[in-house]
Amino acid sequence: MIKVGIFGGAGYTGVELLRILAGHPAVQLMAVASRDKVSSKVSDMFPSLRRRVDLNFVAPEDDAFKNCDVVFFATPNGVAMSQAAGLLAAGVRVIDLAADFRIRDVMEWEKWYGMAHAAPELVAEAIYGLPEIHREQIRGARVLANPGCYPTAVQLGFLPLLEAGIIDCGHLIADAKSGVSGAGRKADMANLYSEVTDSFKAYGVAGHRHLPEIRQGLSRMVGGAEVGLTFVPHLAPMIRGIHATLYARLTHDINLKALQDLFEARFSGEAFVDVLPAGSHPETRSVRASNMCRIAVHRPQGGDTVVVLSVIDNLVKGAAGQAVQNMNIMFGEEEGLGLDIISVSP
């Protein structure tokens, strides 16, 4: 059994981890930390976990974490980088669901996240956990940087096109929409029901923290060449889900059937990427509460623009589910173990 601890168990990604791991046949939950909820029962805060998780919240300093095989950080940015070294010294592997280890350029990270990095030496060691690209490196990771939600949807959508070298990588557009749970479980007037419902807005147009992460990932797909990306996120009046509409200019005359074949071949055998039939329009509800990314590719009016539609659940494939997928790889388990979750509909 894999002995697991969770930091930040009171947040949205934390409870998603608990929901998934509570049903994982190879996992033993050892400790769940929340500084504000110490000694209270996890199932009192989340009644959906009654009779599944019989643990109390503990402090992050609890010794139980050093007896784990792996610890997940479902915490705000800046927490994992301050605590990872102590766990690693105790032989514990670390999976960070925040952004502390995602961006290789530490100065770039500090610019976007507004703080000094506490463990730059671990950034160099960390493996970026997008399994569809880095599966082999993930197997041996001690520190794993779980991708962000927007970066997951955008990178998977562009991946086949960039690897094939058939688009202009200098002028890519990602128009993405997210449910309000992407902002985390915190008191914020902008996220109140009466502020979000019946409304729709863009934000972060001048620059969003996920932009350097996405550009870094796309650049790796083309051997380190510079990638030009316009990324505009939007807040949609829904709780969970991401819909990314991706645009690129074709540099080769390739018809829609060949594009469809390209996507199907690239993701053949990938348990959590579903390439839909030609002409499809994936919906966020088709991936709700599941670890699936559903993709459709279009070539409108047979022109030189290719449009890719990519949908995920921001809390699952965009966070907790992908983290468990990475854990399975790291510990030699079947990659989909504990993740055979059918989407919730309606």
Residues 6+ apart with CB under 8 A from 31: 5, 6, 55, 58, 62, 64, 65, 68
Q: Give how far the C-alpha of residue 263 lies from the chain's centroid of Cα atoms, to the nearest Å.
A: 21
Helices (H), 222-345: 256-266, 321-330
Among 164, 194, 191, residue whose Cα is nearest residue 178: 191
DSSP string for residues in 32-91? EE-GGGTTSBHHHH-GGGTTT---BEE-TT-GGGGG-SEEEE-S-TTSHHHHHHHHHHTT
Among 263, 248, 281, 249, residue whose Cα is nearest residue 173: 248
CA separation, residue 62 to residues 16, 33, 72 (Å):
22, 8, 15
Catalytic entry in 68, 149, 169, 293 = 149
Q: Is 149 a catalytic residue?
A: yes
The residues annotated with a catalytic role in the active site are 149
